[in-house]
Each structure stands twice: as C-alpha cells, then as structure tokens.
C-alpha cells in the first residue's frame, strides 16, 4: 500500500451516481475544488480528495491502492469481485441512492413460466458473472451473450432471446416490448474499500467520513414531530405514529396532566397522518426536517 496522508475517494465522473454522490459529500460538510483537467477534486477543509473516473474502474483502482474508498453500484461491485485483480474490495456502507435491480426480461410475446423457461436461450447482458451465477443457482443451462451496451435492443436485433439488465422504473423495458420476469440482484450505491483499511494518517479521515455518512443516511427523509397532549392520550398518539418510532415524553412545568411529545418519524408526515395524530388527542403539532444526527 502506498503511504499517503490524504484520503482519496473514487467517484463516478458523470452518470447516474455522480449528482447524488456529490450531494452526499456536500451534506457531510466536504467542499472541493475541481482540478483543471477534471480528474481530481481537492478537498478544501478535510484531507479528502476525489478521483473522477468511470464507475467500472473503481473496484480496480481500490484494489491497486490508487484510491482508498469508492462509490459504486452493488451491481458493479459484485460483478467485478470475481476478478482476482479486484480481490478483497468490499462494501462498507449502503448509501441509499442509485437504487435499481438487475433483472431478466423477455420479449412480450415469449412464454415464460419460471427460470426453466430460459433453458437453451441466449441472454444478452453487461453483467456476465452475475448472470452466470444466477443461472447456476437456478440449475438452468443458457447461453450468456456479453454486450458492452444497448442490451435492451438485442432481442429485436435477433442476437438474443432475453436480456439481463439494470431496471429502475421499467420504462426502458416497456419501450422495447420487453417484460420483466426475474430479479437477479437488488442494487444501490455502496461505499467500497479494500478489506484492509489504511492505518496511517488517512484513518482519521475515514472515521470522520463514516461518522458523517452515518449521520446523514440515518435521518435521510425522516422528520421530527413535536406536539402537546394530555398524558392520557400518549398511548393513542403513539399508536397513530407512522413507522412506529418510540416517542420521548416530557412533562410540562405547572401542567401535571399535560406532556410534550417528540418522535423521530422515518418518513415524511403527510396531512392525513397528522390529522389522525390530532384526532388521537394531539395539539400544537410541528413537523421539522432533520438534516443530520450524531449519536
Ligand atoms: P460510466 O461512464 O461511468 O461507465 P455507466 O453508463 O456504466 O457510466 P450509469 O448508467 O451512470 O453508468 O449507471 C451507474 C450506476 O447507476 C449503475 O451501475 C447502477 O448501479 C445505477 N443505476 C440506477 N438506476 C439505473 C438504471 N435505470 N439503469 C442503469 N443503472 C442504474
Ligand atoms: Zn460503467
């Protein structure tokens, strides 16, 4: 391993993971100055720099010690992890964005009952390792056709009978007269690292980053609910809270029968939910956004 004092994180230069990744780093309080050639982003406060690359290169850059951490889809991590050159790269955290699934889809008109329906079929994919593993687990013998891109048009071109590709909404499949039939892998962006984390000056930066990522992801989308109520209503109100958080109940000075209640709700609180909580006896309800948390 190279000796470096500054932590280096590999992130996708441009693509689906770039914006949410920069947004996460921003929420972690990290600011960067981009190098003129657009390859690096230099951290302004903390000793953390970014290397901007194609997502497929990230596991290899970490395995070689060029970067310490990286952000990739689990699909890329698992697909690459079979290669010896990428040995030992593993996921440290799920990041909650870039959600999609690697799915098998067949032409609308093709009959499909279960995995056995794929026996003898040619399946086009950019994820040959993941697909082969899945076929082995299903006990199905099919031909894997590896394509670098435009997998979804292979059935119409007659070069494949089915595809195995990333799906988010399913719109691309529908536009190509394909129907999703199996899920091979559920994916989201993950923070990856070599199995052995650096033990030099970079370890403080890793600790800072993980603590802040946890502080952001733990409360992402959650809301703090504050309200007042008669003590007798606390059970009914607790039952009405979505996501079953455990509320904190505080007594109010000079009002023995009254309490103030606060609860961290995992999701947005809509009007209907608030109205149900109000019917359970709550008054003075406030819903506050939550930006970060520190245990
Ligand atoms: P690069 O030029 O960096 O190689 P790419 O074309 O491989 O880019 P993108 O299409 O930007 O990559 O996708 C990056 C990651 O985003 C995927 O590996 C996957 O984890 C995630 N992702 C989320 N939704 C989708 C989707 N609908 N299609 C493809 N990838 C998706
Ligand atoms: Zn890629």
**pLDDT digit string (tens) for 173-220?**
999 999 999 999 999 999 999 988 888 889 999 999 999 999 999 888
11 and 94 in a single domain? The answer is yes
Q: For residue 18, how far is its CA from the centre of ligand 1 (angstroms)?
A: 10
pLDDT number for residue 209: 97
pLDDT in tens, 198-207: 888 899 999 9
Nearest CA to ligand 1 atom 8: 15
Using pLDDT thresholds of 50, 70 and 90, give the confidence band for residue 146: very high
By most ligand atoms within 8 Å of CB, the mutation choice from 166, 170, 178, 183 for ligand 1 is 166
Using pLDDT thresholds of 50, 70 and 90, give the confidence band for residue 110: very high
d(CA 269, CA 72): 31
By most ligand atoms within 8 Å of CB, the mutation choice from 10, 14, 16, 183 for ligand 1 is 16
Where does ligand 1 bind, in terms of residues with CB under 6 Å?
12, 15-17, 54-56, 73, 75-76, 98, 100, 166, 168, 187
Instruction: Identify whether 104 is part of a domain.
Output: yes
Q: For residue 101, how far is its CA from the centre of ligand 2 (angstroms)?
A: 15
Instruction: Identify whether 295 is part of a domain.
Output: no
- Residue 89, pLDDT > 90, answer yes
280 and 265 in a single domain? The answer is yes
pTM of this structure: 0.88
| Domain range enclosing 163 | 100-187
Residues with CB under 5 A from ligand 2 (ion): 55-56
65 and 194 in a single domain? The answer is yes
By most ligand atoms within 8 Å of CB, the mutation choice from 99, 100, 167, 176 for ligand 1 is 100
Residue 86, domain CATH: 3.40.190.10
More confident position, 268 or 156: 156
Using CA atoms, how far residue 223 sits from 59, 96, 245, 277, 278, in Å, is 35, 17, 11, 15, 17
Region of 282 on the Ramachandran plot (φ > 0 left; ψ -120 to 50 alpha; else beta): beta
Give every CB contact of residue 132 below 8 A, 6+ residues apart in sequence.
Answer: 144
pLDDT number for residue 81: 85
Instruction: Identify whether 294 is part of a domain.
Output: no
Between β-strands 162-167 and 100-107, what pairing exists: parallel, antiparallel or unpaired? antiparallel
Last residue of a domain, one of 187, 206, 240: 187
80 and 11 in a single domain? The answer is yes
Q: In total, how many domains does the chain have?
A: 3
171 and 198 in a single domain? The answer is no
């Amino acid at each position: 391993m190279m000796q470096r004092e500054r932590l280096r994180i590999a992130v996708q230069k441009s693509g689906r993971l770039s914006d949410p990744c920069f947004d996460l780093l921003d929420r972690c309080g990290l600011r960067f100055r981009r190098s003129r050639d657009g390859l690096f982003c230099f951290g302004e406060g903390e000793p953390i720099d970014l290397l901007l690359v194609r997502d497929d290169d990230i596991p290899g850059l970490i395995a070689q010690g060029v970067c310490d951490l990286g952000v990739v889809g689990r699909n890329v991590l698992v697909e690459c992890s079979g290669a010896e050159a990428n040995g030992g790269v593993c996921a440290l955290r799920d990041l909650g964005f870039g959600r999609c699934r690697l799915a098998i889809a067949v032409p609308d008109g093709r009959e499909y009952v279960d995995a056995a329906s794929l026996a003898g079929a040619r399946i086009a994919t950019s994820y040959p390792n993941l697909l082969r593993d899945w076929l082995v687990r299903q006990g199905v013998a099919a031909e894997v056709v590896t394509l670098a891109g435009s997998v979804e048009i292979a059935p119409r071109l007659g070069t494949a009978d089915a595809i195995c590709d990333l799906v988010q909404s399913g719109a691309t499949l529908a536009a190509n007269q394909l129907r999703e039939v199996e899920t091979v892998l559920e994916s989201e962006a993950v923070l990856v690292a070599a199995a052995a984390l650096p033990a030099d000056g970079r370890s403080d930066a890793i600790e800072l980053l993980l603590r802040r990522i946890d502080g952001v992801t733990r409360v992402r989308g959650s809301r703090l609910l504050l309200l007042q109520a008669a003590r007798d209503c606390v059970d009914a109100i607790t039952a009405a809270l979505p996501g079953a958080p455990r509320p904190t109940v505080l007594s109010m000075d000079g009002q023995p029968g009254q309490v103030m209640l606060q609860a961290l709700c995992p999701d947005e609180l809509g009007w209907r939910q608030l109205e149900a909580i109000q019917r359970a006896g709550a008054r003075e309800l406030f819903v506050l956004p939550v930006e970060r948390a520190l245990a």
